[in-house]
Each structure stands twice: as C-alpha cells, then as structure tokens.
Amino acid sequence: MPKTPRRHQEDLASLFSLGFSALNEELHERLNELGFGDFRPMHGFLFQGLIPDGATAKTLVELLGISKQAVSQMLDYLEERGYVVRKPHPSDGRGKLVVLTERGQALMKAKESIYSTIESRWGAIIGNDRLQMMRSDLKRIIESVSEGDAPKKLRPSW
C-alpha cells in the first residue's frame, strides 16, 4: 500500500511557511479551547501592532499592508467581540487610539504562554542553543532586508 510519498520541501520559503503554519495552527487550537474561538489568525498580526500602548488605524494599515477600510472592518469585528476599544486620540482629534481591552490582554498572555510551550518543545528537538541561533539569525536577515527597501509587511500577501 503505497501511502503518502511524503515529498520533502527543501526551500526556505516552504520551510518558513510550514513553520509558521505549525505555530499558528497549534496556537489557534489552544486559543479555541480557552474560549477565544472567534479570534482568527489574521487578527494576530493586527494585535502585534497594539502592544504595548495601542495604535491608530493608520499605523495598523502600514503594518499589515492592507487598505484602511479593511483595517476598519477588522476593528469593528474585534471591538464587537470585546478584544479592543477605539478611544478618542489624545493629541489628534481626527484619529482614534485603538487599545486592547482586558480580554484582549488576556488573549495576549495566553498567546505568549502557548508560544513558549511550543518553543520549548522545539528546543528539545534541535537544542535550545540552535533555536536561539535560528531566532537571532532570522532577525539579522530581516533587519538587513528591510534596510534599503520599504519595510516588509508583517502579513504575507497571497
């Protein structure tokens, strides 16, 4: 019974993508168990822009690389479900400051904890030193890439 040839993805793009998928799928499974089932993968990218002090929609647009209307819709969704609030902006009357609610912060805490569990499991596989190496090498590469160019969008586009 010739089952699943299990072809090997060798190129870095596939490896990054699979690595991300692995992290992300487990994260959202766990979050779902914790009652955050309405939090979708894309929202994680947005949340990255909200720590530690909140952000304007403008900032999120730049971070995510999507239209401001799309950001606004996502914020509606997240606000309805109690993850974020739009406050008036302290210094700019046009703008609004989006901040995490208690619930949003609880989710971020859960996220940290879940990631750290996964990462320590990964550390057991390749060694903690190697995992740290990977992290710091990746950081260097990404810094270097986003130097000359326009800074890369956090969210991959496809």
Among 1, 2, 3, 8, binds its own copies (CB under 8 A): 8
Written as one letter, the residue type at 31 is: L
Nearer to DNA, 72 or 123 (CB): 72
What's the Cα-to-Cα distance from 151 to each of 44, 49, 63, 97, 144, rounded to whole Å?
19, 15, 9, 23, 10
Residues 31-70 that bind its own copies (CB under 8 A): 40-42, 44-45, 48
What is residue 71's three-state secondary structure? helix
Site string for its own copies, 101-120 (x = CB under 8 A): --------------x---x-
- CA dist., res. 82 & res. 93, Å (int): 24
Pick 92 or 112: Cβ nearer DNA: 92
Q: Which residues contact 61 (CB under 8 A, 6 or more apart)?
A: 67, 68, 71
Q: Would you say 27 or 64 has its CB closer to DNA?
A: 64
Phi, psi of 96 (to 5 degrees): -130, 150
Euclidean distance between CA atoms 79 and 103, whole angstroms:
11
Partner in contact with 93, chosen from DNA, its own copies, none, beta carbon below 5 to 8 Å by kind: DNA
Q: Which residues 117-136 are close enough to bind its own copies by CB under 8 A? A: 119, 122, 125-126, 130-131, 133-135
Site for its own copies, rule CB under 8 A: 4, 8-25, 27, 40-42, 44-45, 48, 115, 119, 122, 125-126, 130-131, 133-135, 137-142, 144-146, 151-158
